[in-house]
Amino acid sequence: MPGLEDLYREIILDHYRNPRNRGELPTPPAHRFEGFNPLCGDEILVYVDLEDGVVSDVRIGGQGCSISQSSASMMSAAVKGKTVAEVRDLTTAFKGMMSIHETQLEGTDEEGEPPPDSGSDIALGDLEALRGVVKFPVRIKCATLSWNTLAQGLDELAADEST
């Protein structure tokens, strides 16, 4: 049985207590993406400034639990300065880590190791701290909320631009 410390790593609590990039950005020029978790009612707002395909600034609004808030905070730190393509890769890598792996659910002892098929060589840095979430399946949606919101927003933007 995984314990609370597997879920609430120190770095997560730190991002929860001291959220990075909290706030809003004026829209336009910024884009505002909204996401919510229908299971618990959490809502997240992601504001991004894009300049030449690069995330030049980002802000996080909304409300949520420690996991969704800290994940959003870490995401904001991780994507700032990255190109949209890089953000996409990072999202894929992060969601790969978040997908449920049977063996881990069975409660074996491999907490530290990356799951065999996460496969990507993208460095997740602080985000690795969220790995413990996969042992608490209902919380996975909390951890991925901000990422899904950003990814969907960027997709819609791309779709808009291509039409």
Partner 1 sequence: MAMTRDRALDTTRLRQDFPILGREVNGHRLVYLDSAGSAQKPRQVLDAMDDFYRRSYANVHRGAYTLANEASEALESAREKVAHFIGAGSPNEVIFTKNATEAMNLVVNSWGRANLRDGDVVVLTVLEHHANIVPWQILADQIEIELRWVPLDHQGHLDLTALDELVDGAKVVSFSAMSNVLGTLTPVRRIADAARAAGAMVMVDACQFVPHNPTDVAELGADFIAFSAHKMCGPTGIGALWGREAMLDAMPPFLGGGSMISDVRLDGFTPAPLPHKFEAGTPPIAEAVGFGAAVDYLSALGMDSVRRHEVELTSYALRTLTERFGDQIAISGPSEPAERGGVFSLAYRDLHPHDISQVLDERAVCIRAGHHCAKPLMRYMGVGATARASVYVYNDESDIDALSEGLEAAGEFFAF
Residues that bind partner 1 (CB under 8 A): 1, 3-4, 7-8, 13, 16-17, 36, 38-43, 63-67, 69, 136-139, 142
CB-nearer residue toward partner 1: 56 or 99: 99
Based on CB atoms, which residue is closest to partner 1, 8 or 80? 8
Complex with partner 1: residue 64 or 115, whichever CB lies closer = 64
Q: What count of Cα atoms within 13 Å lies in the side-chain half-sphere of residue 9? A: 16
Q: Where are the alpha helices (DSSP H) in 9-136?
A: 10-17, 66-79, 84-98, 102-105
Residue whose CB is less far from partner 1, 67 or 130: 67
In sequence order, which ranges of 19-136 are alpha helices (DSSP H)? 66-79, 84-98, 102-105
Residue reference for tokens 């992601």 = 46
**Dihedral (CA of 154, 155, 160, 163) sign:** positive
Residue 147: CB minimum distance to partner 1, A: 17
Query: Considering the complex, what minimum distance in angstroms separates the CB of residue 40 from partner 1?
Result: 5
Q: How far is the CB of 16 from partner 1 (least distance, A)?
A: 8
Q: How far is the CB of 53 from partner 1 (least distance, A)?
A: 30
Distance CA 112, CA 91 (A): 20
